[in-house]
Amino acid sequence: MASDAVDLILEQWQRERPELDHSPIGVFGRVARLAPLLQRELEAEFARHGLTGPEYDVLATLRRAGPPYTLTPTELSRSMMISSGAMTYRLDQLEKRDLLRRSPDPGDRRGVLVTLTPEGVRTVDETVAAHLQNEARVLAALRPAERKALAGLLRTLLVTLEPPPS
């Protein structure tokens, strides 16, 4: 098995403080190093489709909602775990590009509904297909059983740390 930079860190700590359990470094160190590398791979694919990762998240969240691809800004920000200010900025940028539209909520005079436009549906449908192929490419070093095991282990950690989905 090939070594990585985290192996060196573990060896150094084992040498310097052998009485401690250093095994968490194997997980946290690798997750910390992987996160920006994975993000870079994803962002490059989004950029090929004229989007940023955060913009894709908005479009994908609306698309996953199913027809008529409409949610309130609060539902969007809650689903994406971002502030209302960040959501407003993203919606402004996507509306300028005719990928979504905001309209008054007929059920709440003060509310707004956010809906994908036909161009938004086309864009997200093209992007999600390429995005999934890109993710599969990035994970190609893992066998299907290893992917499934890793996903299950990560789910276990998330369930203990993240509030349950609403």
Q: Which residues are registered as beta bridge partners of 100?
A: 116
What is the pLDDT, as a whole number, of residue 42?
A: 97
Q: Which parts of 49-117 fold into alpha helices (H)?
A: 53-64, 73-80, 84-96
Residue 142: helix, strand or coil by DSSP? coil
In-domain check, residue 63: yes
Q: How far is CA 119 from the centre of its chain?
A: 22
Specify the CATH number for the domain of residue 130.
1.10.10.10
Domain total in the chain: 1
What is the pLDDT, as a whole number, of residue 84?
A: 87
Token pair in block for residue 20: 């401690």
What is the pLDDT, as a whole number, of residue 166?
A: 66
In-domain check, residue 29: no
Per-residue pLDDT of the chain in tens (166 residues, 90 and over written 9): 789 999 999 999 999 999 999 999 999 999 999 999 999 999 999 999 999 999 999 999 999 999 999 999 999 998 888 888 899 999 999 999 999 999 999 988 889 999 999 999 999 999 999 999 999 999 999 999 999 999 999 999 999 998 887 6
pTM of this prediction?
Answer: 0.88
In-domain check, residue 149: no
Domain of residue 49, residue span? 38-138
